[in-house]
A and B are shown apart, each in its own frame.
Chain A
Amino acid sequence: MSATATVAARASRGTRVSPLRKRADQFGDRVMFGICLLAALVAGGAIFLVGYQIVHGAQPAISKFGFAFVYETTWQPNFGEFGAGVLLFGTAVTSAFALLLGGPIAIAIGLFLTLLAPKGVGAVIGPLVELLAAIPSVILGFWGLVVLAPFVQEHVEPFLHDNFGFIPVFGEPQTTGLSVFTASLILTIMVVPIIASISRDLFRSVPRELQDGAAALGATRWEVVRGIVLPTTSSGVIAACILGLGRALGEAIAVSQVIGAGSEIKANLFAPGSTLAGQIALQFPGALTELHKAALFYCGVILLAIGLLANLLAGWIGRRFSYGGAVNW
């Protein structure tokens, strides 16, 4: 008993924390917490501020056109008539095309990297595919304009039109190669690395025992993928595709460089078109009137709503249906 007392006494003498120091530390803790909390609030507040400012900028157009703006198809800045129908159509077509073409390619790359590639090869190709996402969109668009569009116009479009012309989407090629088709190809290049890197991480998380078990029962590699790998990760892969879709929807620069600024809804993929984001990039710097600017802000509101929805949906699907916390990005 006396021993513990001595220890306690020695301890209190040994550490000798002055009350001032203690108070300083408490104060420091509180300040540190306060600063971190403030930073977190700034980050959270940024989203609301962005949303508020975009809606604020769109106010004149919202009060003038109301909800009809979303489906009206006239866009005539000179007459002050605006509707986003054509733009929505263009956005939907280019993004859907990019996803339909890019999604399977990206998933196949993910499978290749996890199941097929030898270790060294995978370690090189994986980062290289991700580098595709690091190329600035303006440079990809410039490349699309100067290199891809002429090639598409001379070779790809005539080929598809001659051989599959009976399908209306492969209509008469136009003169420049600047078309919805070219824009979709550029978007495909942007979407692939995003989906590929997420699905690679997902496929890696599939338990080895399940795959080995299937293989031991005589399943071929494809049957392991079909029966084990894809079913356990399907929700995550869908979430990844939605994230890729969100990227494709919001891309403004590269699309506006290669889509050729068409103003009608056409079934023909080889005709020029326009998208919500692309229209903002193209017309905002030279907007004629305040109403024109407000209409472009209204496009931004639609874009923002779709984009946030896509992200929330992807997060929700990823969490709700994921295999044991496999999704973590």
Chain B
Amino acid sequence: MSRGLVPDPTAPLTPSGNLRRRQVVSRVAEVVATGAAVVALAALVIVIWTVVSRGAGAISLDFLFTGYPTGVGPMLLGTVVIALVATAMAMPIGVLVALFITEYSGARGARTMKLTLDLLNGLPSIILGLFAFVFIVAAQEKQTAFAGSVALAIIELPLIARGSQEVLQLVPGNLREASDALGVARWRSTLTVVLPSALGGIVTSTILAVARAAGETAPLILTSSAFDPNTFSINPFEALPNVPTWIYKVSEEGNPNGYAEAWGMSLILVSIILFASLGARALLARSKRKLSS
């Protein structure tokens, strides 16, 4: 053994040369990835902070419960009505589509249906607005909130169907088998065993879909934009005042006088949507865990 092959015991233990370079590259990549997450979070925080700080001042009891110009009650009520009507149409169809995928269609049918739902989900909302306009508004020659609800229902449908289908698929097979073994007819076990055990997931998927639809603007500016902001109404067969259209109008006019109310409405809409989706997400994760355990 010659002396030259023994490593110098006093050399520092930090890597050098190529290894050092590779470690630096890796470190830089880590910092960049963390930075990207920070940037996205910052965007969320800045937007929400702006909405909260500028909107909080506008909110009062009058703001919530009286008509324009002292409050925006009719807009809030109209948005609720439009979303409810849309959900009343989308939820039954969505759940039935999910049942069709999990209980009746074969593998090929399921693939086709999933593709269909993904395509529906990918339709731009302005396209659905145009559709509701030509299909309902132009045919009746007047704006109706119902037309907006139809467009929103098409937005909600794929979300509810995909969400429910994922939960339905988690319902343990032995529940169905037990039901079969007791001689229960297929449709009875679907209605009394499968659906109830997936109910939590179905409801939370629906809430997520409603949260998405409640803020959609594009369909409503084509179907329910000519309204009187001072009249409370729940009749979906006329143009109903609604929050998104109002915010859009204010920003189009570019008149800063209306900004305070628009921020106030934004705050109400954003907080409802964010709390609904956060809560629904947590519940969904829980019911999925419960089903698969």
Contact = CB atoms under 8 A, between A and B. Distances in A.
Answer whether A and B are interacting partners.
yes
A136 B215 contact: yes
B154 A50 contact: yes
Contacts of A135: 44, 47-48, 215, 270, 273-274
Given A25-B185, A252-B218, A220 B25 contact: yes
Given A25-B188, A36-B104, A40-B97, A280 B130 contact: yes
Interface of B: 22-23, 25-26, 28-30, 32-37, 39-41, 43-44, 46-48, 50-51, 92-94, 96-97, 99-101, 103-105, 113, 115-120, 122-131, 133-135, 138, 154, 157-158, 161, 183, 185-188, 190-191, 211-212, 214-218, 221-222, 225, 244, 247-248, 250-252, 254, 259, 262, 266, 269-270, 273-274, 277-278, 281
Interface string A87-109: 00000000000000000111011
A260 to B, nearest CB: 11
Contacts of A282: 252
Contacts of A15: 183
Interface of A: 15, 17, 25-26, 28-29, 31-33, 35-40, 42-44, 46-47, 49-50, 53-54, 56-57, 104-106, 108-109, 111-113, 115-117, 125, 127-132, 134-143, 145-147, 189, 192-193, 196, 220-223, 225, 243, 246, 249-253, 257, 277, 280-282, 284-285, 296-297, 300, 303-304, 307-308, 310-312, 315, 329
Contact of A36 (B97, B126, B244): B97
22 contacts: A37-B100, A47-B120, A49-B135, A50-B154, A105-B36, A112-B37, A134-B274, A134-B277, A139-B215, A139-B266, A139-B269, A141-B251, A192-B43, A220-B22, A220-B25, A221-B29, A222-B26, A252-B218, A253-B248, A281-B218, A285-B222, A315-B118
A36 B26 contact: no
Contact of A43 (B39, B157, B269): B157
A126 B94 CA distance: 27
B195 to A, nearest CB: 11
Contacts of A251: 124
Given A42-B93, A139-B269, A132 B126 contact: no
A307 B123 CA distance: 7
